[in-house]
Amino acid sequence: MDDFWADAERHLIRYNGAGRFVPEIIGRAEGSFVVTEDGRRLLDFTSGQMSAILGHSHPAVVATVQRQAATLDHLFSGMLSRPVVDLARGLAQTLPEPLSKVLLLTTGAESNEAAIRMAKLVTGRHEIISFARSWHGMTHAAAAATYSHSRKGYGPAAPGNFAIPTPNAYRPDFTTAGGELDWERQLDFAFDLFDAQSVGSLAACIVEPILSSGGVLDLPPGYLAALRDKCHERGGLLILDEAQTGLCRTGDWYAFERDGVVPDILTLSKTLGAGLPLAAVVTSPEIEQQAHERGFLFFTTHVSDPLVAAVGVTVLDVLRAERLDHRAAELGAYLSKGLNELKQRHEAIGDVRGRGLLVGLELVADRVTKQPADALGQAVTRRCLELGLHLNVVQLPGMGGVFRIAPPLTASPAELDLGLEILDRALTGATA
């Protein structure tokens, strides 16, 4: 295999914490599969980095990239082009009022950075609340609001950041008399703690409607509205990070639709570019006007780039034409049914949860005690890869291996069946 791995070892900075890469050289990708250089087809149950909602190399996206790269790819950041305005208008048409003002950027971290910056400027405050299992990105303000992974060793985070408990129905900390998660009492407790530490300067709460890196934890119905109210009572804005849940993955165009809660600021990324680097911040005309009057500055190299904006327009067109919100709901129900059938056969499966085609499967050593099964998660991941399935397992303190299962919205039932079959075989082998 020439000197590929030696060159990778010699020249690449290891950026994923553990320093491990998937031990395959990927040569190409198509639809629901990535293909190694030696011709092995791996079923992609993570949609790349939870992004390729239309599958890999979707013909409409390929055609748009070819056309746009040949005509208009990148501009001075103060210039505008038709794809940028077309995408801004198209996004606004998919959203409830008053979300109609759009800023186009590149990554989820960048969109969250811009949203937090805007919230601080508009409110004149600096405190930020996020979940103790959150992941919002690796730039400064986004990383300061991220608690699910490595905070140690990088020096002080941005001042004024506060973590609140994550509602986890499978592992509840506050419980009702019947042993169910008492999220209302948990939320009251969280804000009692915040109020005791706050200097009275809440700018925003930033949360995912379904925490993905946090273990695919869906907020209980009613939680988002209660969180919004507590945030607004203290003068802060509600920022919803729908990097992974936005644009049909959950069975709705946006995950917040289930709760009828419209955020003050919405951030999108991953799914918006269907795998290409495109992100957005969306807010109301009132908040945008206040930010503008106070001199809002987020002038980056690739803000409002026409090439990826054109791709975003195509993504919206395909989602709409193929009714992929309905498809995600139907395929999600099919996938969850299959995973629950596996749960009946495998004692190691403790919980199946999620919405649409964003599903979490948590492995445990014991269903009664819910003891984490960290090593098992890694073993199943390795065996799945050997059998032709790429899965991502999230290892978090106090939780076992949680598989984040997020196939493309264009996947077929047969491909889902194949993934379930491979997972079944991997679990059988790893637990034997």
Catalytic residues: 135, 208, 241, 244, 270, 404
Sign of CA pseudo-dihedral 261, 262, 266, 269: positive
Secondary structure letter of residue 407 according to DSSP:
-
Q: How many other C-beta atoms lie within 10 A of the C-beta of residue 370?
A: 17
Q: In terms of residues, how long is the chain?
A: 432
Cα–Cα distance, 72 to 79 (Å, whole number) = 12
Helix H or strand E encompassing 26: strand 26-30
Long-range contacts of 151-160 (CB under 8 A, 24+ apart): 158/128, 159/126, 160/126, 160/127, 160/128, 160/199, 160/201, 160/203
> Can you state the angle between helices 108-123 and 285-293, rounded to 10 degrees?
70
Residue with the two structure tokens 């070892």: 9
SS3 content of the chain, % helix, strand, coil (to 5): 40, 20, 40
Q: Which of 6, 64, 2, 57 is nearest to 29 (CA)?
A: 57
Q: Which of 152, 160, 115 is nearest to 137 (CA)?
A: 115
Q: Which of 264, 256, 242 is nearest to 123 (CA)?
A: 264
Contacts of 74 (CB under 8 A, 6+ apart): 302, 305, 306, 307
Q: State the amino acid at position 155 in one-letter form.
A: G
Q: How many other C-beta atoms lie within 10 A of the C-beta of residue 185?
A: 13
The helix/strand/coil state of 318 is helix
128 near 152, Cβ under 8 Å? no
What are the angstrom distances between the C-alpha of 7 and each of 16, 17, 161? 18, 19, 40
Sign of CA pseudo-dihedral 127, 128, 131, 134: negative
